[in-house]
């Protein structure tokens, strides 16, 4: 038989008390930075879809006028 030595020394630690998230300026600054990043991303996405829409319109106009190298004529 194999005897196993088990230590009975067990330390019980109390979990640290978490500070309230809304009560300190660091948390407020972090939330403000997060919201600011969201607003900047929204601005970037708005600019991106408008740019894509303009480019698509230019391509369609160039295709309709027959300016593209392999454009198929409508009429």
**CA angle, 65 then 68 then 69, to 5°:** 135
pLDDT in tens, 42-57: 999 999 999 999 999 9
pTM over 0.75, yes/no: no
Domain positions in the chain are 25-64
Whether the per-residue pLDDT at 1 is higher than 60: the answer is no
Rounded mean pLDDT of 29-44?
A: 95
pLDDT of residue 42: 97
pLDDT of residue 45: 98
Q: In this structure, what DSSP letter does residue 56 have?
A: H
Whether the per-residue pLDDT at 17 is higher than 80: the answer is no
Q: Which residues contact 66 (CB under 8 A, 6 or more apart)?
A: 73
Question: What mean pLDDT, rounded, does the chain reach?
Answer: 81
């Amino acid at each position: 038989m194999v005897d196993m030595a088990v230590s009975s020394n067990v330390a019980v630690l109390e979990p640290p008390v978490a500070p309230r998230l809304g009560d300190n300026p660091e948390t407020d600054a972090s939330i403000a930075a997060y919201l600011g990043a969201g607003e900047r991303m929204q601005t970037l996405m708005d600019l991106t879809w408008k740019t894509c829409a303009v480019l698509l319109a230019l391509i369609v106009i160039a295709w309709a006028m027959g300016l593209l190298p392999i454009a198929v004529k409508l009429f």
